[in-house]
């Protein structure tokens, strides 16, 4: 995904000490993961408030801008470098990677169609299939549309190959309330079952 780039030392405004901060480098394919990592890095350094809600506190804003500049490519810095606040930079990067509302809606429609068509291949493992479901769910969440966990659970169970998993699916349907069962719980049960039938 994204490369982690070690930055130069930055003075932490709270302790007035020197600290080394590592920031993920944004590229064309890792925007969702980049936002998660940057949000965590900004929170650790007490600078997230400069972006949400958008405080214009001088030191927090400067620290947040410095961290953002370390994590975006030079070509993007040239485009957003004249913006005054970290929040404005964050929003500009977001707009560049997320697109306008129309583009966002189109991407959501494609993701929804992909989610609805999703089926586990006969040769695929539970882990591989879970990875595909999780990727679609994460992309959808990044576009502002969370997929409810019960919907993911039901989609997962109904997308498994019937010949191989019909017995466990029927048992889980009878024993569990799928509206209250977590995705991790269902995945754990199916992985245990998969190991048994593989043996």
pLDDT of residue 26 exceeding 90 = no
What is the pLDDT, as a whole number, of residue 81? 80
Rounded Cα distance between 108 and 115, Å, is 10
Cβ atoms of 160 and 125 within 8 Å: the answer is no
Cα 150 to Cα 9, 105, 157, 158: the distances in Å are 45, 23, 11, 12
- The residues spanned by each domain of the chain are 4-98, 101-198
Q: Which residues contact 17 (CB under 8 A, 6 or more apart)?
A: 11
What are the pLDDT digits (tens) for 124-181?
889 999 999 999 998 888 777 888 999 999 999 999 998 888 888 888 888 888 889 8
* Integer Cα distance of 34 and 27 in angstroms: 9
pTM above 0.95, yes or no: no
What digits encode the pLDDT tens for the residues 12-22? 444 445 556 67
Burial of residue 70, with CB atoms counted within 10 A of its CB: 0-12 exposed, 13-18 middle, 19 or more buried: buried
At residue 35, the pLDDT reads 84
Long-range residue pairs from 112-115, CB within 8 A, at least 24 positions apart, any chain: 112/140, 115/140, 115/147, 115/155
Name the 3-class secondary structure at 43. helix
The predicted pLDDT at position 21 comes to: 60
Which band of pLDDT confidence, cut at 50, 70 and 90, is reported for residue 115? very high
The sign one gets for the Cα dihedral 75, 100, 67, 61 is positive
Distance CA 37, CA 23 (A): 8
Burial environment of residue 186 by CB neighbours within 10 A (0 to 12, 13 to 18, 19 or more): buried
Output the six-digit token pair for 162: 């019937």
**174 token code pair:** 């009878």
Could you give phi then psi for residue 12, rounded to 5 degrees? -75, 125
Q: Model confidence at 7, in pLDDT bands (50, 70, 90)?
A: very low
Any idea which of 4-8, 75-79, 80-84 has the lowest mean pLDDT? Answer: 4-8
- Average pLDDT of the residues in 82-95: 85
Query: Is it the case that residue 8 has pLDDT exceeding 50?
Result: no
Measured in whole angstroms, how far is the alpha carbon of residue 117 from the centre of its chain? 21
The pLDDT of residue 117 is above 90: yes
pLDDT at 113 over 90: yes
- Inter-residue contact 26 to 72 (CB < 8 Å): yes
Contact 147, 137 (CB under 8 A): yes
pLDDT given at position 108 = 86
């Amino acid at each position: 995904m994204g490369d982690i780039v070690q930055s130069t030392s930055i003075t932490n405004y709270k302790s007035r000490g020197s600290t080394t901060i590592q920031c993920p480098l944004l590229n064309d394919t890792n925007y969702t993961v980049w936002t998660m990592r940057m949000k965590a890095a900004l929170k650790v350094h007490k600078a997230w408030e400069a972006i949400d809600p958008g405080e214009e506190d001088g030191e927090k804003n400067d620290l947040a801008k410095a961290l953002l500049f370390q994590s975006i490519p030079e070509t993007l810095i040239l485009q957003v470098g004249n913006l005054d606040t970290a929040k404005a930079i964050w929003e500009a990067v977001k707009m560049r990677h997320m697109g306008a509302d129309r583009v966002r809606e189109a991407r959501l429609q494609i993701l929804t169609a992909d989610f609805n068509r999703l089926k586990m291949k006969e040769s695929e493992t539970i882990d591989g299939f879970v990875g595909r479901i999780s990727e679609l769910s994460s992309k959808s969440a990044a576009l502002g549309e969370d997929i409810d966990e019960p919907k993911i659970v039901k989609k997962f169970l109904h997308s498994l190959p019937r010949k191989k998993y019909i017995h466990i699916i029927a048992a889980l349907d009878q024993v569990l309330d799928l509206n209250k069962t977590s995705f991790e719980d269902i995945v754990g049960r199916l992985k245990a079952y998969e190991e048994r039938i593989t043996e």
